[in-house]
Amino acid sequence: MQCIKQNHPIANDSYFLFSSALILLILQSLLRVVLYWRNADLAVGIPSTDILNAFLTGIRFDLIITVYAMVPLILGFLLKNGLRNRKICIACLTIVSLVIVFLAVLELDFYHEFHARLNSMVFEYMQEDPATVISMIWHGFPVVKYLAAIFLLTAILYYTFSFVSRMTPHHNSDNPSYVVRLSLFILIMLMSAVAARGTLRQGPPLRWGDAFHSQHLFANHLGLNGTYTLTKAIMASDKSKKHWLKKMPLDQAILDTASMLHNDKDTLLASDISPVYRKYAASQGLSDKPLNVVFILMESFSAEFVGAMDHDDGITPNFDKLSKQGLLFDHFLSNGTHTHQGMFASLACFPNLPNFEYLMQQPEGNTAFSGMIKMTADRGYQSMYIYNGDFAWDNQKGFFGTQGMQRFIGRHDFINPVFSDPTWGVSDQDMFDRAAEELAAQPSDKPFFAFLQTLSNHTPYALPSPLPVAEVTGHGELNKHLTAMHYADWALGEFFKKVEKQPYFNNTIFILVGDHGFGTEKQITDIDLLRFHVPLLIIGPKVTEKYGTLNHTVGSQVDIAPTLAGLLGGETTHSCWGRDLLNTDDAGFAIIKPSGSDHTTAIVKGDKVLVKLEDSSQKLYQYTLGKAPHAEEIDTDKTILNHQLDAYIESATSNLLQRKVGLENTTPVN
C-alpha cells in the first residue's frame, strides 16, 4: 500500500472531510449556546455542572447529525478522483449547514413557547393551515432579523468551507491505487458507524433518554439536538402504538383501569371490551329542573398567574371575583399542552395518548365519543359552539359536528367586530358579546348547551387598541403574553356582567377551565408540570352550598363531563375516561402528556407524580402547587403508579384502535 503523505490527494481529502466535520460540530455547539442564551431565565438555579454535562451530552447528539451530514462526502472516497470536485462538496456542506442553522433559529422561539425541542408539532402546524401559521409567525416573531441572521451565518460557513478547501487542495497527480482508497473508505465508515451510535457501550445507541441526567428539565433538554429530535419525529411509525399495547394482557389493563375510574354508583355495561362504558346513577343534582350548561375554554389560562390560585400578579381580577361565587379546583390539570388536546379531552372525554395527540384530525377520531355534547343531547339540549376563529382549524367543525354539535358561530359570522386580527379572528370581547346575545335569545322552554372558546391569549397576541386594561409589566418577555391573559380576563368579566342580569343565569351551570398553561421560568419535574396546571371553576345554583368553594382533588379535563353528569343528576350512560370529581373518596389522579412526538407521559396522583420518559425510565416526585410550586424526586416504590399509567394508556389506545370508545345499546353486566 502506498504511503499517504501531506499534499497527497487522498490525504488532503481526508483533512478536508474531518475539518468540515469539526466545523459542523462547533457550529452545533455554538447554536446550543444561543439556545441557552435565549432561555437563560430557565437556567437560573441549575448547577453549572449540570449545564456542562448538557453540553457534553449535546456533542454526542451533534456527532450523530454530523456523521449523517457527511455521508455524501464519505461516499465520495469511492470515486476514482475522490473529492476533487470541491465546489460540489462545498455546496453540499453549505446546504446542510443552512438546514441546521434554520432549524436552530426556528427552535429559539419554539422552545421558548413550548418548552420542547423540535418535534411533530412543527408538521402539525404547517399541514393544518400554512397561511394562518405563516401569518402567526410573521406578526408574532422578528422574522426579518432571523432570516438575516440565517443568511449571514450560512454565508460565513460557506466561506469557511471554501477556506478549508483551499488549505487542503486536491492534486490530480499521484492518485493512489483503488485498494488504498477503498481501505481508507472502509476505515472512515467504521469510524463513522461508531460516531453515529453516539456511544461506545454495548447494546442500544445513544437515545433520547440519555440526555436526561439532571433534576432540571432545561438542562436535560439542552443536551438534545433539535435536528435529531425533529428527524426522529419524521421517522416515527406505528411501532410506538404497538409498544403501548404490549405492556400487559389487555384484559388485565381493562380491569385495572376500571378500578381506577369506577365507584359504587357506576354500572359497567361492557366489562369484557371496555373499562369505561357504564351507567352512572348520580344522586340528586343541583336542581329538580334541567339546567343550562355553558362551558368556557380559556386559551392559555395558566393557573400560575391566577390570583385565586394564590398568585398576586393582578392578572385575573375578574376570574378571582368569580371564583368566590363558585367551586374552584386548585389541583386541576390539562391533558395536553395544546388547545387541540384541551378540546377533545374536555368535550369528548378522551385522554391525550401517545401517537394520537391530534385526534380530531386523525382517522381514529372519526367516531362518536361520549362527552358533554352527547350527555346534554341525550337530555334534549340544544347546542352551539361560539369561537373567535375559523372552524376549519384543527378540523373543529368536522369533529364536533360528528359529535352532535348543532350550531357553529365563528370568525366569519361576526359583523363589525370591535377588533379582528389577520391571523386568528375576532377578539375575546367580540366572542363574549356575541355569546351573550345568543344565550339571551335561547327559548326558555328548552335547555341549552353552549361551548365558548377564547383565542386572544395566543401568539401574536393581537389586541384591540386602546386596550381596556393596563398593560402588564415586570414579567420580562412574558409581559405581552400576560397582557393578553389580562385582557381575556377582562372580557370574561364583561360577559358575566351581562349574563348575570339574564333570567336564565340562576338556571345555568357555568364551567370555566384553561385549555393548557404555558412555559414559565419554573420547570417542575421532567414533564414541566406547571404547563398543565389550569384552574377549573364551576358556578351554578347551590354549588357552593353543596360542595364549598375550594376542592383539592387532582383531576384533568377528561373528568369534566362525568362531573357535569353528577351536577345534572339522574342516570347518564357514557364512555368517559374520567370520573365525577365530586363523588370520589381519594385524592384523585390525572394522566397527562405533552403535545407532539414527545412520548413522555405521567400520572399525577395526590401529591405524587410519576414521569415516564420516552425510553420507559421513570422518575417519581413529590410536588406542591400554589405560590411557591416545587417538586423533589423521591426514592419510593414506583410499581403501582407505573402499572396504573401503563394500564390506562394501553386500554384507551386499544379501545380507540378498535373503535370502541362510544359503545351503545350494550346489555348491562349482571
Amino acid identity of residue 501, one-letter, is K
User: Quick count: other Cβ atoms within 10 Å of Cβ 3?
Assistant: 8
515 is in an annotated binding site: yes
> Residue 386: what are its φ and ψ, rounded to 5°?
-115, 130
Residue 578 dihedral angles phi and psi, to the nearest 5°:
-135, -165
The bridge status of strand 601-605 relative to strand 407-409 is unpaired
Torsion of Cα atoms, 53 then 59 then 65 then 66, to 10°: 180
CA separation for the pair 564, 156 (Å, rounded) = 60
Enzyme catalytic residues: 339
- CA distance to 267, 275, 372, 406, 563, per residue, from 574 (Å): 11, 11, 10, 20, 12
- The burial class, CB within 10 Å (0-12 / 13-18 / 19+), for 421 is buried
Contact between 326 and 540 under an 8 Å Cβ cutoff? The reply is: yes
CB distance 459 to 400 below 8 Å = no
Nearest to 210 by CA among 103, 65, 54: 54
Residue 339 marked as a ligand binder: yes
Distance from C-alpha of 72 to C-alpha of 234, rounded to nearest angstrom: 21
Strands (E), 390-505: 407-409, 448-453
Annotated ligand binding at 486? The verdict is: no
Q: Is the peptide bond before 72 cis (omega within 30 degrees of 0)?
A: no
Find the DSSP H helices in 300-389. Answer: 317-323, 339-347, 372-378
Binding residues for Mn(2+): 299, 339, 515-516
Binding residues for substrate: 458
